[in-house]
Amino acid sequence: MKIRSKIIYLIVAVAGFLASCSDSFLDRPPLSEISSSNFYQTPEDLRLATAALYAGDQWGAWTYYSYLQIGEVLSGNMVLGHNGDAVQLNNFAVTGLNSAVLQNWKNMYAVIAHSNITIKGINEYTPKSLSPELVNGALAEAKFMRAYAYLNLVVLWQDVPIIEDNDKLALDPLLNRNYADDVFQLIIKDLQFAAENLPTVDETGRVTTWSAQGLLAKAYLAWSGLNSTSEGQRNQALLDSAKQYAGNVCKKSGLLLMDSYEDVFKYENNDNQEVLFALQWTAGSGDWLTGNMLQNFSKGGKEIGPGGIAGWFDITPSWDIHLQYSEADSVRRKATFMYHDDYYAELNQAAGGYTFTGPAGLKKHIIGNEKDVNAPKMTNTSSGEHTPLLRLSDVYLIYAEAILGNNTSTNNADALLYFNKVRERAGLTPVESFDFDMLYKERRLELAAEGHYWADMVRLSFYNPKKAIAMLNAGERVQVKWDNDAKEFVPADVFGVITPATVNTFRLPIPSADITVNPKLLEEPVHYFK
């Protein structure tokens, strides 16, 4: 982690605070030592407090239980068949007891609680001697994190409770859900504050105004389809806002894509310039669920596992996404998924590299053993990869989609410029126009294994549910298998019976544990903003 290592003590303290809460986000969160009156007194205190927001057990549990499971398995990009909860996601039979659903809900609210505590501490305890620029910058980081968590929640559940003040929650823990429009309003308010108060450049790993404006564009794009009154049509004013903020990042940030797609995800390129927001992990610093757990999803052998221990999750690309990769799109495919006989020079370097012998497995997030990355303490539960959650190419494609808007296709010069930047970096030929299907395919392959595709499908369902349902039901949600006799890939058997997707598929069930604690979650939502 390039943000100073002495913040680890603070991350541990906050992790303890969050772990002390029970499974329900509605339980009263205790105040941590960090929010005491003797903290937030110096510029260093503020930097330490906000640095703790980038890691911790709330993010560790989320990446382990929900990040790939919901973003990739539920969307049909990947297949995970190791237990009943995973099979539910693959088969559109998700219940309120599902661990991926519970952990996503619980840990996004833990991120919100942590952000709220930080905001309250800064507002109440920071002395007037500190500059407004410094104070507002710290508040902006916390509000960025809160907005990210709420955007995750509103896309997956739509109407969710809004909590800005943990103390008010303690006094009245039985909350109604709030309308999705109100949640989007809070997200926009937080991100506009962040965009105005974050610097254009900061120490490597911290969010900047470009991070906030990129996330603003993503939020506006999602919101534009909500409450659509005509199928296939989105709110033009919100599309224009998405275009504005994404365009700022594309044209004014000075940031560029890396030349090589595969280099984006290598350990030595953590926090490269096209990563706008990433979780900040330290190799070897975390115990179970307190560090980056994604190395566990490796289907490679023990020779590429830290400490000689192989991953234990049987996660693979789906047959459906396998069919999306053209022969020309081999760069992105190989950087995302290992296929039979693929060779990787950066893995198991001491032995001259690594050749994958399985049928197919995850490559993105798999950075090798501790010698490969010169991190002697790294384990499968504490990878040193800084997990990217928002990248520049995502914003390029958001910009292109916002310009496409409600049109069938576009040959707009700006849209084509950034759409083709993504394609050409992948080794594909530029196009002279594109339509919705081309754009969604590009997003799917560019961002595969980064947890975005289910959110893309949900926001499509907001304004064109028939198309979203048809796309989900057309996918072949089975694993990729290698036929050694025929020397070719073939589809494997499906896990269980796949229930056809419906419009209800796009809204996750509220975790059963939270409904038991607070039955008001089943009532009609109410407005938060009057």
- Kindly report, residue by residue over 166-201, the tens digit of the pLDDT: 988 888 889 999 999 999 999 999 999 999 999 999
Strands 360-362 and 388-391: unpaired
CA distance 116 to 35: 10
CA distance 373 to 412: 43
pLDDT at 494: 76
Q: Would you call 113 helix, strand, or coil by DSSP?
A: helix
For residue 67, CA distances in Å to 63, 186, 452 come to 5, 23, 9
Alpha helix segments (H runs only) across 78-165: 84-91, 99-125, 132-157
DSSP 511-527: PHHHHHH-GGGGSPPB-
CA distance 175 to 161: 7
Do the beta carbons of residue 347 and residue 372 sit within 8 Å?
yes
CA distance 192 to 194: 5
Mean pLDDT per 10-residue run, the chain (530 residues)?
A: 37 38 34 64 93 93 96 96 86 95 97 96 95 98 98 98 92 94 98 98 97 98 95 96 98 98 97 97 85 93 94 91 96 98 97 96 97 94 96 98 98 98 98 98 98 98 98 93 92 85 97 95 95
Q: Which two tokens stand for residue 40?
A: 């937030």
Q: What is the DSSP letter of 480?
A: E
Q: What is the DSSP letter of 499?
A: P
From the CB of residue 331, how many other CB atoms can be counted at a distance below 10 Å?
15
The amino acid at 59? W
CA distance 266 to 40: 36
Do the beta carbons of residue 127 and residue 41 sit within 8 Å?
yes
Tell me, rounded to whole angstroms, the distance of Cα 414 from its chain centroid: 26
The amino acid at 496? G
Do the beta carbons of residue 199 and residue 132 sit within 8 Å?
no
Q: What is the DSSP letter of 71?
A: I
This prediction's pTM: 0.94
CA distance 65 to 55: 16
Q: Which two tokens stand for residue 166?
A: 């943990």
Tell me, rounded to whole angstroms, the distance of Cα 339 from its chain centroid: 24
pLDDT at 9: 35
Do the beta carbons of residue 295 and residue 383 sit within 8 Å?
yes
For residue 236, CA distances in Å to 7, 405, 421, 433 come to 44, 8, 25, 21
Compute, in degrees rounded to 10, the torsion defined by CA atoms 416, 456, 253, 269: -110
pLDDT at 36: 64
How many residues does the structure list for the chain?
530
Do the beta carbons of residue 239 and residue 410 sit within 8 Å?
no
pLDDT at 424: 98
Q: Which two tokens stand for residue 144?
A: 């960025």
CA distance 83 to 155: 25
pLDDT at 11: 35
